[in-house]
């Protein structure tokens, strides 16, 4: 066990956990932030996507000890009032079905738009290809990413 | 014409009795229908419960209970919408609350068969209309005016003559005390204000901000985390295990053996599980439990054959479970043997003679593998067993049946069991088989802790309840004028026979033969989105494409001619489709796609199917790039009766198309010595954004027929639309799923 001071969604939070604990479980079990989802545990589905210094990473493969002083953003902190352009676009297109993968989808989309504000269709597909949506809302996700791109 | 809905006193009292607020546990399930400024009116000081579905606050805010579990079908929006419509509520001042399992107040609280809207169409509207009736009568009494002169609109009561006006909250107290009417009037369709217009998912704000909604998000003070270890292979049982090292690991509370269902328990249809002897690991956090799980050394032994005693919806039944370690190749041998001696299911005319006299006989065999549901939220459940009180919460599709199994297993009466239904991170049939709820409760009972049981993805993918493995051989006979004179299907599965013998083209062909077979297996299987139809449509619609081509006919016209025969001169009496409605979706698809004037370079496939009381036709356009299909467009033409919530309905159909293409292209579970070979998404290929269609259009047949199913009907036909388009593009027919094996490098 070791103590870690983490910067999550602009707040300093402390956890006392095994250094190998993936951020996914630090968030979900230790910090009660359950918006980041467990899907596969091997970085294949994208449900656990968070931002590490603004980049989309799979939190199931990110040990807490590797975070150091990097800034973490989770779906809970994507915006203060749920009004990030990606979130607004997700509402506009009424994207979700079951909704389970959508936090990961939105975190990937938000990171994409930060680095590439006007992505082409192909760039959207490449960026989003690591996120599985079992309900099959891909056409709406893509449309929502485009809307968010226009409304930033 | 306005429907007068007679209230069956007994059934209505069931609806109107108090819902028992004590059953709503710690989670706050309120969801505002107007996402941006949630609960516009603010919290009321007092709630008046008008009936089991409706509470009205003194300030006019209305709570509508959503009785059924929500797993992405959008019933949590569309079912309350039916209540709100007849209540004449202002949808923006409605909050939707997820009902717990409550058999006193609600019926049919489950996901399955695309039947939620169809079966609740009258009851939910009646609940709303009754509440409206009571409010109108309360206003009539208060204002001393005839009730017939009172109008309602958007949560307000008005009386033109006196100029009186009140919101529902002002009359709710009196309304709740008035006698329930003998009958109520339901609106005419032309009077609908909410039904038929698009309304957003009531949970969308919570979904996009990461609020706890799903079972896996559920937490209680003192809760411990648990995982299980099940046999590595079907045909195996737990022999022994060594957990000394694992028990000493940090954060581990205990590791012990559990028995989920007892061997002599009479199982219902949804109590499927073969792995009843399990190792349970309990600890303080998921990560610690995961690490300890890897350190447990388990030994397995071969399971003996047994007979499972079953209660098949009131009828006695059984399931023969053979011993042995099955492999994909050994299963194939058994299938090929079984299909040699099928059972006759339907026979019209003289098919043997017609085949003997035919000018041309086309015979094709099709196979499809086991499939894994792969809900994105892995199987999980919360259970807290304290003495003879049980509180559970989580995602499941058939809470009432699971409650019975749980009661029997724990020896605690159902009255003492509360099951709270969380949002499901996908269901597709998998969460009908809630053995994990029993497991969680047994672990909680032993440890006396509230327990959250979570399956890893590997547990989820290897614990069974797959879609069965299927195979079918079709034969069609054409006469010298290329008319279809006989049709023969011989279909079966391991372990389930998928055949629907009374579906199209039954009824449209004079000489018809349907036969089926089953091969027992110890691999556990169960319902999978559009059960059985998902295979039958995928192969039959591919075969009909080939028959149409042999007959020299356009594939849509060929089917339309058959449907015309089925309408004018039906063969047999138990055909379970309406040929006219079926033809309706074919014609709609044709007109929306400019059928017959395809773009250069685009290959088109057509397919159509009837299941779950609804009709779906699809046209799929693709181009081959580097040996792989790039799907440019899919057109859905759907007849599901009146559409309640059009945009959500389109979303569901779009999802069905993507899901169907993904399953057809990549879906497959295989076995080696009983062991499932695909254990996670690195080997079990799921469709991703690049492979999804660039565009999906969904068109509904406009009619005022009572609504029917939509969660499933658009799924089965798309497999064949893809297969038929691939044939147009490559000249090769594919007879084995998944298709990917036969493309590109395959």
pLDDT digits (tens, 9 = 90+) for B472-529: 999 999 999 999 999 999 999 999 999 999 999 999 999 999 999 999 999 999 999 9
d(CA B535, CA B738): 12
CATH code for the domain in which residue B531 is found? 3.30.365.10
Residue whose token pair is 């939707």: B96
What is the Cα–Cα distance from B640 to B625, expressed in whole angstroms?
A: 35
B44 and B125 in a common domain: yes
- Asked if B480 and B444 sit in the same domain, the reply is no
Q: Let me know if residue B580 belongs to a domain.
A: yes
Whether chain B has a CB inside 8 Å of the CB on A6: the answer is no
Say how many domains are in chain B.
Answer: 3
| Cβ <8 Å between B376 and A32 | no
In chain B, positions 654-673, which contact chain A (CB-CB < 8 Å)? 654-659, 662
Q: Which domain holds residue B512?
A: 469-742
The ipTM assigned to this model is 0.98
B145 and B177 in a single domain? The answer is yes
DSSP assignment, residue A27?
I
Which chain A residue shows the shortest CA-CA distance from B208? A87
How confident is the model at residue B106, as a pLDDT?
Answer: 79
Contact B554, B548 (CB under 8 A): yes
**Shared-domain flag, residues B177 and B234:** no
- What distance in Å separates residue A75's CA from the closest CA in chain B? 6
Q: Is residue B513 one of the residues assigned to a domain?
A: yes
Pairing of strands B628-639, B614-625: antiparallel
- Bridge pairing between strands B297-302 and B236-242: antiparallel
List the one residue out of B660, B706, B346 whose CA is nearest residue B503.
Answer: B346
> Looking at the structure, do residues B201 and B238 belong to the same domain, yes or no?
no
**When comparing pLDDT for B9 and B509, which is higher?**
B509
pLDDT at B34 > cutoff 80: no
Read off the pLDDT of each residue in B672-700 and give the average, rounded to a whole number. 98
Q: A74 to chain B: which residues are within 8 Å by CB?
A: 210
Cβ–Cβ contact A47 with B under 8 A: yes
Of the residues B179, B209, B239, the one at which a domain ends: B209
Are B585 and B652 contained in the same domain?
yes
Q: pLDDT > 90: what percent of chain B?
A: 82
- Here the tokens at position B618 are 């699809």
Percent of chain B with pLDDT over 70: 94
The DSSP element (H or E) to which B225 belongs, if any, is: strand B224-229
Are both B191 and B177 inside the same structural domain?
yes
- Kindly list the residues from chain B whose CB atom is less than 8 angstroms away from the CB atom of residue A17: 285, 287
Strand order of the sheet with strand B469-478?
A: B343-348, B511-518, B484-494, B469-478, B360-368
Q: Are B59 and A122 in contact (CB under 8 A)?
A: no
Predicted pLDDT at B40: 54
B337 located within any domain: no
Residue B25 in this model has a pLDDT that exceeds 50: no
* B528 is a domain residue: yes
Question: For residues B232 and A97, what is the distance between their CA atoms, to the nearest angstrom?
Answer: 33
Give CA–CA dist A111/A84, Å, rounded: 12
pLDDT digits (tens, 9 = 90+) for B271-280: 999 999 999 9
Statement to judge: residues B677 and B528 lie in one domain: yes
| Residue numbers in B near A96 (CB within 8 A) | 72, 201, 203-204, 207-208
Q: Evaluate whether residue B241 is within a structural domain.
A: yes
Q: What is the pLDDT of residue B30?
A: 38
- Give the pLDDT band (50/70/90) at residue B5: low
Could you tell me if residue B338 is inside a domain? Answer: no
End position of a domain, from candidates B425, B454, B483: B454
Where among B191, B209, B227 does a domain terminate?
B209
Q: Could you tell me if residue B353 is inside a domain? A: no
pLDDT of residue B148: 96
- Whole-angstrom CA distances from B609 to B95, B119, B243, B639 are 37, 21, 52, 11
For the segment B572-590, the average pLDDT, to the nearest whole number, is 96
Q: What is the pLDDT of residues B189-223, one digit of tens each?
A: 999 999 999 999 999 999 999 999 999 999 999 99
B216: its two tokens: 């896996």
Assess whether B574 and B444 both reside in one domain.
Answer: no
| B38 pLDDT more than 50 | no
Q: Angle B9-16/B116-143 helices, nearest 10 degrees?
A: 80
B422 contacts chain A (CB < 8 A) = no
Residues paired with A36 in a beta bridge: none
B423 touches chain A (CB under 8 A): yes
Domains, chain A, in order of start with CATH, read 2-77 (3.10.20.30), 85-150 (1.10.150.120)
The verdict on B446 and B477 lying in the same domain is: no
Rounded to whole angstroms, the Cα distance separating A112 from A127 reads 7
Is A37 buried (19+), middle (13-18) or exposed (0-12) by CB count in 10 A? buried
B93 and B136 together in one domain: yes
Q: Are residues B198 and B264 in the same domain?
A: no
- Tell me how far apart the alpha carbons of residues A3 and A15 are, in angstroms, rounded to a whole number: 6
Q: Distances in Å between the alpha carbon of B123 and those of B18, B107, B237?
A: 17, 10, 47
Residues of chain A with pLDDT under 50: none
pLDDT at B667 over 90: yes
User: Which tens digits make up the pLDDT trace of B59-113?
Assistant: 889 999 888 889 998 999 999 999 999 999 999 999 998 888 888 777 778 777 7
What is the per-residue pLDDT for B287? 98
Asked whether the beta carbons of B192 and B78 are under 8 A apart, the reply is: no
Helix (H) or strand (E) holding A141: helix A138-150
Give the model's pLDDT for residue B6. Answer: 55
Q: What's the 3-state SS for B182-213?
A: CEEECCCHHHCCCCCCCCCCCCHHHHHHCCCC
Domain membership flag for residue B716: yes
Mean pLDDT estimate for chain B: 92
């Amino acid at each position: 066990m070791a103590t870690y001071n983490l910067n999550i969604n602009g707040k300093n939070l402390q956890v006392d956990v095994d250094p190998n604990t993936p951020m996914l479980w630090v968030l979900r079990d230790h910090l009660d932030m359950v918006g980041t989802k467990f899907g596969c545990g091997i970085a294949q589905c994208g449900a656990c996507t968070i931002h590490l210094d603004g980049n989309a990473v799979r939190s199931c493969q990110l040990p807490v000890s590797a975070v150091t002083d990097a800034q973490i953003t989770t779906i809970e902190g994507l915006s203060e009032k749920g009004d990030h352009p990606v979130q607004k676009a997700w509402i506009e297109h009424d994207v979700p079905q079951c909704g389970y993968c959508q936090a990961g989808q939105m975190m990937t989309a938000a990171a994409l738009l930060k680095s590439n504000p006007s992505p082409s269709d192909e760039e959207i597909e490449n960026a989003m290809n690591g996120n599985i949506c079992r309900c099959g809302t891909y056409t709406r996700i893509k449309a929502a990413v485009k809307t968010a791109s226009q409304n930033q | 014409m306005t429907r007068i809905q007679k209230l069956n006193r007994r059934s209505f009292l069931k609806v109107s009795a108090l819902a028992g607020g004590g059953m709503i546990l710690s989670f706050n399930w309120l969801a505002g229908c107007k996402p941006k400024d949630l609960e516009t009116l603010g919290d009321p000081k007092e709630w008046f419960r008008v009936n089991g579905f409706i509470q009205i606050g003194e300030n006019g805010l209305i709570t509508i209970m959503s009785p059924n579990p929500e797993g992405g079908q959008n019933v949590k929006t569309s079912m309350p919408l039916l209540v709100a419509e007849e209540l004449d509520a202002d949808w923006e001042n409605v909050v939707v609350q997820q009902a717990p399992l409550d058999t006193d107040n609600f019926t049919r609280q489950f996901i399955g068969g695309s039947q939620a809207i169809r079966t609740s169409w009258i009851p939910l509207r009646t609940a709303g209309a009754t509440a409206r009736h009571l409010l109108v009568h309360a206003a009539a009494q208060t204002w001393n005016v005839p009730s017939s002169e009172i109008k309602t609109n958007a949560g307000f009561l008005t009386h033109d003559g006196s100029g009186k006006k009140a919101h529902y909250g002002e009359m709710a107290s009196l309304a709740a005390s008035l006698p329930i009417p003998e009958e109520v009037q339901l609106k005419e369709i032309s009077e609908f204000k909410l039904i038929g217009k698009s309304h957003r998912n009531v949970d969308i704000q919570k979904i996009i901000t990461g609020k706890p909604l799903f079972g896996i998000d559920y937490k209680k003070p003192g809760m411990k985390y648990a995982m299980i270890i099940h046999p590595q292979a079907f045909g195996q049982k737990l022999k022994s295990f060594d957990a000394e090292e694992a028990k000493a690991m940090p954060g581990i509370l205990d590791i012990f053996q559990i028995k989920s269902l007892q061997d002599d328990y009479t199982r219902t249809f949804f109590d499927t599980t073969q792995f009843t002897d399990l190792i349970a690991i309990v600890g303080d956090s998921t990560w610690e439990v995961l690490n300890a799980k890897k350190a447990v050394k388990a030994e397995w032994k071969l399971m003996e054959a047994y007979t499972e005693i079953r209660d098949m919806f009131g009828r006695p039944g059984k399931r023969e479970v053979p011993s042995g370690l099955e492999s994909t190749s050994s299963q194939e041998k058994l299938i090929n043997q079984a299909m040699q001696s099928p059972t006759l299911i339907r026979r019209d005319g003289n098919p043997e003679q017609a085949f003997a006299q035919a000018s041309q006989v086309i015979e094709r065999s099709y196979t499809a593998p086991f499939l894994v549901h792969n809900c994105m939220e892995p199987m999980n459940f919360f259970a807290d067993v304290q003495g003879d009180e049980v509180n559970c919460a989580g995602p499941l599709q058939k809470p009432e049946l699971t409650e019975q199994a749980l009661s029997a297993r724990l020896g605690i009466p159902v009255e003492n069991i509360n099951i709270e239904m969380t949002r499901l991170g996908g269901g597709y049939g998998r969460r009908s088989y809630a053995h994990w709820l029993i497991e969680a409760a047994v672990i909680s009972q032993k440890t006396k802790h509230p327990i959250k049981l979570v399956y890893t993805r590997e547990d989820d993918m290897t614990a069974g309840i797959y879609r069965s493995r299927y195979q079918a051989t079709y034969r069609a006979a054409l006469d010298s004028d290329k008319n279809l004179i006989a049709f023969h299907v011989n279909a079966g599965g391991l372990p389930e026979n998928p055949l629907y013998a009374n579906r199209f083209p039954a009824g449209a062909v004079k000489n018809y033969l349907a036969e089926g077979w089953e091969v027992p297996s110890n691999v556990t299987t169960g319902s999978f989105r559009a059960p059985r139809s998902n295979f039958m449509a995928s192969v039959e619609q591919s075969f009909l494409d080939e028959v149409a081509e042999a007959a020299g006919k356009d594939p849509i016209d060929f089917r339309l001619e058959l449907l015309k025969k089925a309408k004018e001169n039906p063969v047999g009496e138990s055909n379970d489709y309406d040929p006219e409605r079926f033809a309706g979706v074919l014609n709609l698809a044709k007109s929306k796609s400019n059928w017959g004037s395809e773009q250069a370079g685009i290959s088109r496939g057509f397919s159509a199917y009837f299941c779950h009381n609804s009709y779906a036709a699809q046209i799929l356009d693709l181009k081959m790039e580097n040996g792989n299909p790039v799907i440019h467009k899919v057109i859905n033409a759907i007849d599901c009766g009146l559409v309640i919530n059009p945009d959500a309905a389109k979303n569901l159909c779009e999802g069905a198309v993507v899901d169907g293409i993904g399953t057809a292209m990549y879906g497959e579970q295989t076995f080696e010595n009983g062991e499932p070979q695909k254990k996670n998404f690195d080997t079990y290929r799921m469709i991703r954004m690049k492979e999804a269609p660039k565009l999906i259009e969904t068109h509904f047949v406009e009619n005022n027929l009572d609504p029917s199913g939509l969660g499933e009907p658009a799924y089965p036909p798309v497999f064949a639309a893809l297969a038929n388009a691939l044939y147009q593009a490559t000249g090769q027919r594919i007879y084995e799923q998944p298709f990917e094996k036969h493309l590109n490098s395959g």
